[in-house]
Amino acid sequence: MLREDLDARDREGLLMESPPPSLLELRDLLEQAWCAETAYDSFTYEGRDPAWGQCYVTAVFLYHHLDGEIKRGWVSSPEMRPCRHYWNQIDGLDIDLTWRQFPAGSRLTDIERVDKKCLLASVDARARYDLLVKNVANLRAEPS
């Protein structure tokens, strides 16, 4: 899905607000919106850090709202098998709202930029992203 397609899906969304939410506000919303169904592997989500398995949908959400690039790499640690990880780079600064899911001492290798044409290409990723967007919208609709 191209950026233009993502933008078209959010005509009534967060970007239309004045002023738009800050990165800290988006982080707080995302952390509340994460759930087992938005995680990469919902079956092993229970009992883990809430950021576990949320990296891809979170990176796409931030890209959608703040632009920049999405990066990916392989995370390795003596305590776990290597796994794919996604985060954002905005104005040259790495922004990773889900890194806390990994043990201390984890390392990133084989870092590359994600081709924006491939965003949300799988049915599963799109469903998880759509649920995350819905959860954020519901949180924003709640009275303060």
pTM for this structure?
Answer: 0.87
Amino acid 141: pLDDT? 86
Q: Which domain holds residue 36?
A: 3-141
Contacts 24+ apart (CB under 8 A), 121-126: 121/1, 125/56, 125/57, 125/60, 126/1
* Cα–Cα distance measured from residue 20 to residue 12, given in angstroms and rounded to the nearest whole number: 12
Low-confidence stretches of the chain (pLDDT beneath 50): 1-3, 7-8, 11-12
Per-residue pLDDT, 2? 46
The Cα–Cα gap between 65 and 22 comes to 10
Per-residue CA distances from 132 to 3, 5, 50, 66, 78 (Å): 17, 17, 13, 16, 31
Structure tokens at 23: 């990165």
> Quick one: pLDDT at residue 78?
86
Among 31, 8, 49, CA closest to 97: 31
Q: Which pLDDT belongs to residue 15?
A: 52
Q: What is the pLDDT of residue 144?
A: 62
* φ, ψ of residue 110 in degrees (nearest 5): 50, 50
Q: How many domains does the chain have?
A: 1
